[in-house]
């Protein structure tokens, strides 16, 4: 890599790290108030946020779905009546819990029936390895294996703490996911080609107040954390009935 390329890479990483710091500060404040993704108090927070949006007549959450045909980081029909925008970090244990325990059931019940569309957003808040993993996810998506890669990473996630996602480990997950050209995958992983899109996801999340992972926006209604299946079912059914 040339000196100019290294400078460009350092500059881009510096911008992303700055955004990460902003998100991390929000997360710290979120945790300091005694709220986590699985805290029952979040239900009251969600109701308060919804009331504020209704009182102002503005609901930026309703405009989040992109509905791009052929998006490799989305599942379900672009015109599905219910959309779930998912802000996740590959090193987040609660994201892994959702992926392994909840997502398969939602896919079977709603995505496969054309009711639900799930759209991924990168929110890498747990350091440099989270950023590298976000790049890896997009490198896998480029070869049509995004969801298989995501499933492989989360299946190996520890019950507590954050997994060690080194470049070597990410390449192993890509191989497990069936990524055909691993050299191409590794080259993309070492580049900054996806950083602008990752940064756009992060800015979108912070703009609407997302400060922890996982966070889900279902037809404009936020659901925070890896909630029980019946919570997701209730919100999706209500959204489908009102569509």
For range 154-166, the mean pLDDT: 95
Range of lowest pLDDT (43-57, 76-90, 106-120, 199-213): 43-57
The larger pLDDT score, comparing residue 13 to residue 72, is at: 72
Residue 240 confidence (pLDDT) above 60 = yes
Confidence of residue 2 (pLDDT cuts 50, 70, 90): very low
Mean pLDDT value across the chain? 85
Q: In whole angstroms, what is the distance from residue 151 CA to residue 104 CA?
A: 10
Phi/psi region, residue 61 (left: phi>0; alpha: psi -120 to 50; beta: rest), is alpha
pLDDT at position 103: 98
What backbone torsions phi and psi does residue 105 show, to the nearest 5 degrees?
-70, -40
234: confidence class by pLDDT, cuts 50, 70, 90: very high
The pLDDT value given to residue 208: 96
pLDDT at 159: 87
């Amino acid at each position: 890599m040339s000196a100019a390329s290294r400078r460009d890479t350092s500059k881009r990483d510096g911008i992303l790290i700055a955004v990460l710091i902003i998100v991390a500060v929000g997360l710290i404040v979120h945790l300091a108030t005694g709220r986590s993704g699985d805290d029952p108090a979040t239900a009251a927070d969600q109701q308060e946020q919804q009331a504020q949006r209704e009182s102002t007549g503005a609901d930026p959450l309703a405009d989040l779905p992109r509905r791009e045909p052929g998006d490799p980081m989305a599942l379900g029909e672009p015109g599905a009546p219910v959309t779930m925008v998912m802000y996740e970090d590959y090193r987040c244990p609660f994201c892994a819990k959702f992926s392994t325990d909840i997502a398969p059931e939602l896919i079977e019940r709603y995505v496969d029936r054309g009711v639900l569309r799930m759209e991924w957003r990168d929110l890498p808040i747990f350091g440099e390895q989270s950023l590298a993993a976000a790049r890896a996810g997009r490198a896998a998506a480029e070869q049509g294996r995004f969801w298989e890669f995501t499933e492989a990473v989360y299946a190996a996630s520890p019950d507590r703490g954050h997994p060690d996602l080194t470049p070597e480990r990410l390449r192993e997950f890509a191989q497990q996911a069936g990524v055909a050209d691993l050299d191409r995958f590794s080259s993309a992983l070492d580049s900054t080609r996806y950083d602008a899109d990752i940064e756009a996801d992060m800015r979108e999340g912070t703009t609407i107040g997302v400060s922890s992972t996982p966070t889900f926006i279902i037809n404009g209604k936020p659901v925070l954390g890896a909630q029980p299946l019946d919570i997701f079912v209730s919100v999706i059914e209500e959204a489908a009935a009102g569509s």
